[in-house]
Structure 1
Amino acid sequence: MAFKKTILAVTGPSQGDGDLKLAADLCNEIGAHLAVLVVVIAAPPPVGEYAAVVSQAWLEERQADENLLKKRTAAVSAFLAGRALSADVSSAYPEAGWADETIGRRARYADVTLIGPELLAGETLKSKVIEGALFSSGKPLLLVPEGARPTLKPKRVLVAWDTRLESSRAVRESLDMLIGADEVHLVMVDPVEDEYHHGAEPGADAAAYLARHGVKVIVDRLPSSNHSVADVLRRHAVDIAADLVVMGAYGHSRLRERILGGVTKSMLEDPSMPILMAR
């Protein structure tokens, strides 16, 4: 599997250049191209009986948004021009209802979409990038929280394994990194030993698959002990000094995760270290 050659970073007018610098450093680490998408989500049109009265104000708001988009795009271009880096910048002004699809279409032409600390600190644009990357691109998402030191050449990796299709996709998308790591911990929490779940020996089949690719894999079967799966994974990642967590995203439906919670939702809300997610 070829190493990742294009990283997509999404930014908006309220972000600085911190996430871009982080993305540029990752590109320099592996000799990749940096694609930057500048996004401003369009102001929604007025509705109701006062729509005609406020329509001029709405038009002015949209014009102001477009000016912000041009200004931010120019600033990003200047940032990239000052670096010895293969890069390009594009912009989009989508309506809120299809902003995730717009971002997802752009992410299809990258190997991974990066969300850094500045974007994570936001709300609307962050959610659109997450949904676009995971549900509209077919490519993985890399979350980098504040204070983390990300690398695309990790030495220790925790792979959250639960036998679902999403976990398999995450392993496949990260295989090039797993091969180069010193240790890869295949972690299962409360594995179920039967043919419909983890098999007679939980983790054995996945470990054998990774080993055939030359991955130095260790199987860790952990009890939850009344803790959430997300908390168990976070704690174990710290215990093994993992540089990266690899996991599948939304093994359950988005609606179920939003209402009942889940591992994906918890990790998205509190990514304590770099996490590569795939679906």
Structure 2
Amino acid sequence: MLAQESKGTINPTSPLALRFHDVLALATSTGPWSPALLAAVDMAARWHFNVTACYVPGALREQRAYESEPTVMSLLTDVEYECLDDAVAFQTYARSHGALYASWTVTRTAIAPTLRKLGAWHDLAVLERDMVDEVRIFDILGEAMLSSRIPCLVLPPQWNQAVSFERVVIGWNGSFEATRALHSALPLIKLAKEVILINGEVRTPYDNQISVAEPDPIVYLMHHGITAKPHYIHVPADKAGETLLAKAHDAHADLLVMGAYGHSRIRERVLGGATRHVMAHADIPVFMQH
């Protein structure tokens, strides 16, 4: 089970509980249940919320968004997952473990459009990094996160543990993406017994003249009842991801929170260097948002 909050079990009507109402998990298996499903049910049970499982057939996991027209092969693959038995089995499993409501669906399109369409109905998506082939992590899974903009909890390969939020490391550099990730992750950060904020922001002498003054992240967290330890780093951009993971390992973190950075090219989205490094090498769950 997830780590218990120091003040006891969360009241389903509390402000904290109301932040995450619907959790989506992209599933890759039913026997045994996919790690994303287990993690989503665990969280839904913790807050007594709704969970949606979406099975992604194997043929569609390697398909780019612009290749999302269903092929004959993809339509014929894994047809057994349309069976009502899977829906009933998952609903029974999720409800018996404490989820408020559970639903099961199967996609017939690529991961990116699936996450974009279903993500609009949910507060958080749970993904398995190894649901796609290693060589296509960035152009499939990364593209999905950048285009959907839903907060994503990305599980490392072969994840077989309960998700814990006892020690949380936040990567923050003053960017819009990092700030949105910090804000969206507040319900999880509030569960932590120890929070470390890695601040890599670089300010110019004219920041306050050309932009609106923003809250200090440590003070912002304090206003939400969170005491965070600040660590300041100054490293080249190409070392940011490596440094962030090293700091998370040093802190024995259970969760890393960071923005998902990227930029657009024609017909594709490309992840920034720090995001790519963390996605490729993280061995703990990572909370990301673009």
TM-score norm. by structure 1 comes to 0.75
In structure 2, the CA distance between the partners of 1:259 and 1:101, relative to structure 1 (3 Å rule), is closer
Aligned residue number for residue 56 of structure 1: none
- Pick from 118, 132, 138 the counterpart of residue 144 of structure 2: 132
Aligned residue number for residue 191 of structure 2: 180
In structure 2, the CA distance between the partners of 1:129 and 1:106, relative to structure 1 (3 Å rule), is farther
RMSD across aligned positions (CA): 3.6
Q: Distance in 2 between matches of 1:157 and 1:170?
A: 13
1:192 Cα deviation (Å)?
4.3
1:182 Cα deviation (Å)?
2.0
Aligned residue number for residue 218 of structure 1: 229
Q: Distance in 2 between matches of 1:125 and 1:228?
A: 20
In structure 2, the CA distance between the partners of 1:68 and 1:82, relative to structure 1 (3 Å rule), is farther
Partner SS state of residue 93, structure 1: coil
1:277 Cα deviation (Å)?
0.3
Partner SS state of residue 253, structure 1: strand
- Pick from 265, 269, 273 the counterpart of residue 280 of structure 2: 269
Instruction: Indicate yes or no: 2:70 matched with 1:70.
Output: no
Question: Which residue identity does 1:26 align to in structure 2?
Answer: M
TM-score norm. by structure 2 comes to 0.72
Instruction: Indicate yes or no: 2:281 matched with 1:278.
Output: no
Aligned residue number for residue 127 of structure 2: 115
**Percent identical across equivalent pairs?**
20
Aligned residue number for residue 17 of structure 1: 33
Partner SS state of residue 80, structure 1: helix
Aligned residue number for residue 24 of structure 2: 8
Does the CA contact (< 8 Å) of 1:6 and 1:111 recur in 2?
yes
Does the CA contact (< 8 Å) of 2:26 and 2:56 recur in 1?
yes
Paired residues for 1:1-279 under 5 Å: 2-12=18-28, 17-19=33-35, 20-40=37-57, 41=60, 62=72, 64-74=73-83, 76-83=86-93, 84=96, 85=99, 86-94=101-109, 100-116=112-128, 118-119=130-131, 127-136=139-148, 138-145=149-156, 146-147=158-159, 149-151=161-163, 154-189=165-200, 191-192=202-203, 194-196=205-207, 205-224=216-235, 228-250=239-261, 252-255=262-265, 262-279=273-290
**Rg comparison, structure with higher value:** 1
Does the CA contact (< 8 Å) of 2:23 and 2:51 recur in 1?
yes
Q: Distance in 2 between matches of 1:226 and 1:155?
A: 29
Aligned residue number for residue 53 of structure 1: none
Q: Distance in 2 between matches of 1:107 and 1:72?
A: 21
Q: Per-residue displacement from partner, 1:207-264 (whole Å, max 9, x unpaired)?
A: 11111111111110124389811111111111112111110111x4155x98896001
Partner SS state of residue 144, structure 2: helix
Partner SS state of residue 26, structure 2: strand
Partner SS state of residue 278, structure 2: helix
Question: Which residue identity does 2:126 align to in structure 1?
Answer: L
Moved over 6 A (4+): 257-260
